[in-house]
Amino acid sequence: MESWVSRSSLSSLQRTSLNKIDTNLVSAFVERWHLETSSFHMPFGEMSITLDDVASLLHLLIRGIFWSPQDVTEELVVELAVDYLGVSQGQAQSHVRSCRGSYYKLEWLYDLFVHHRAASSWAYATGAYLLMLVGSTIFAYKTFTLVEARYLLLFRDLDGCSGYSWGAAALVTLYRYLGDASMYSCKQLGGYPTLLQCWIHEYFPTAGKRGENWKPADNCGLPRAMRWSYRQGVLKVDDLRPILDELTPADVIWRPFEDHRAWCVFDEICLYMGCLKWGETVVPYLPDRCLRQFGYRQYVPSPPLDCMMATDIDVDWISYHQSVIAVIGSSTVATTPSDAVDGYLEWYYCVSHPRLVPPHRDAPREVPVPVYDVGPSDPDWARVSTLIHRYLRQVNAEEEDPQFSDLFEALHISRSH
């Protein structure tokens, strides 16, 4: 069965997960995430998780096509389980009803995997295993107990799996959940938290506690995420917030994977600027906002893309060279790791609020949260809420302004569903 898993190009995910996540450390970075720029706003400029970071940490393919799935109905979810997971029609229908949606339970998939492996039904065992693998890593749902059934469509042809950009898939999913989690009403991060925490360990050696399994020089071709192990942190988010506020460029390892290039060569497609998509999720990917991570001098970037207006994302991805030239053509190789043009920080502090702790902290007061401000439970309403919220932030709208009253009312309505 291992050869079948290797054909999927996902075998590296079997070994990369941390056994536990430092939720306080992760949360301290999540609150600095801005979904319109797909970046963390740090006190010295923007940084982000890039395609090169994903390739180095997880050893997933970066080049490849994006996935555009067909519509999934309850009937199709049942049919997929029968055809590719080896269950009866009745078993599939009963399980899908218990999930109350187009999902499978990870526990159920594990039981199927064990059963089919014992019976040497390798095709069914592989399907259950791969769906369980992505459902507990790069496509993890917020509950960490379910996986979207439509992902089983990816594994109908294992040879075709190697044609997908799995690195982009992991990044799109994490970006999407980071955008959700950055809103105060969201309490859980989906996607692959291991990817985020290992990224923090690589770039910010003084932030949080980290365990090291081996030194980079001792690596023999393993995904870089395997370098790290969980160590219980003692700092809460309130403790970490001022620590991150006081970070300087000297506290950052700007190019942590230069000693990993023997196993993961830098690919220029990682400098592509545009939109990434996976399924119906589309996110901006803007390396011009974190050029120092690529060894270039940081300049004042162009306004962020509105991916809702993007039409030819697949074409842009294939013809990535044009955007790469646009990104690096206005820059030069950095003379110091944190090199930036004159005026960059002045511009940055005019458009962002990178320090989260106010200079003088008053005694905290309780602010009642209206019922309609509770986050939406339906994914479609959550998407509507996110889009409205993004626009209101872009135009610096105030709720007291009459010209935006209808949009704020729509935002409150969407959050109540």
- Average pLDDT of span 193-202: 97
What does the angle CA 170 – CA 257 – CA 36 come to, to the nearest 5 degrees?
A: 45
Q: What are the strands, taking DSSP E only, across 166-299?
A: 211-212, 228-229, 274-278, 281-285
Residue 344 in domain: yes
Listed residues 161, 190, 205: the one ending a domain? 161
pLDDT-derived band at 371, boundaries 50, 70, 90: very low
DSSP string, 322-361: HHHHHHHHT--B-SSTT-B-TTHHHHHHHH-----S-SSP
Banded model confidence at residue 373, pLDDT cuts 50, 70, 90: very low
- Tell me, yes or no, whether 359 lies in a domain: no
Neighbours of 85 (CB within 10 A): 24
pLDDT at 374 over 90: no
Q: Which residue type does 116 have?
A: H
Backbone angles phi, psi at 232, to 5 degrees: -65, 120
- Nearest Cα to Cα of residue 272 among 298, 294, 303: 294
Greater model confidence, 140 or 309: 140
Q: Are residues 16 and 87 in the same domain?
A: no
Of 21-30, 330-339, 386-395, the one with minimum mean pLDDT is 386-395
Q: Are residues 122 and 169 in the same domain?
A: no
Please tell me whether residues 261 and 180 are part of one structural domain. Answer: yes
What are the pLDDT digits (tens) for 272-326?
A: 999 999 999 999 999 999 999 999 999 999 999 888 777 899 999 999 999 999 9
Residues 324 and 188 in one domain: yes
Same domain assignment for residues 52 and 111: no
pLDDT per residue as tens digits for the range 382-401: 778 778 877 877 776 766 66
For 93-117, write each residue's pLDDT tens digit: 999 999 988 999 999 999 999 999 9
Same domain for 173 and 59 = yes
What is the three-class DSSP state of 46?
A: strand
79 with 131, same domain? yes
Question: Which amino acid makes up residue 185?
Answer: S
Give the residue from 20, 25, 21 showing the smallest Cα distance to 234.
25
Tokens of residue 123, six digits: 């095709």
For residue 261, give its domain range.
Answer: 2-65+165-351
Are 210 and 185 within one domain?
yes
236 φ, ψ (degrees, to nearest 5): -90, 175
pLDDT score at 143: 84
For 257, the 3-state DSSP assignment is coil
Domain end residue (candidates: 108, 134, 161):
161
**What does the alpha-carbon distance between residue 143 and residue 187 come to, in Å, rounded to a whole number?**
11
Tens digit of pLDDT for each residue in 30-60? 999 999 999 999 999 999 999 999 999 999 9
**Count of domains forming the chain:** 3
Amino acid of residue 254: W
Is 107 in the same domain as 151?
yes
Please indicate, yes or no, whether residues 380 and 396 belong to a single structural domain of this protein: yes
Length of the chain (residues): 417
Quick one: 132 and 252 in the same domain? no
Q: Within a domain: residue 361?
A: no
- Are 11 and 144 found together in one domain? no
- Per the domain annotation, does 358 fall within a domain? no
Is residue 360 one of the residues assigned to a domain?
A: no
Q: What are phi and psi of 187, to 5 degrees?
A: -115, 0
**Domain boundary, last residue among 161, 193, 213:** 161
Residue type, 61: L
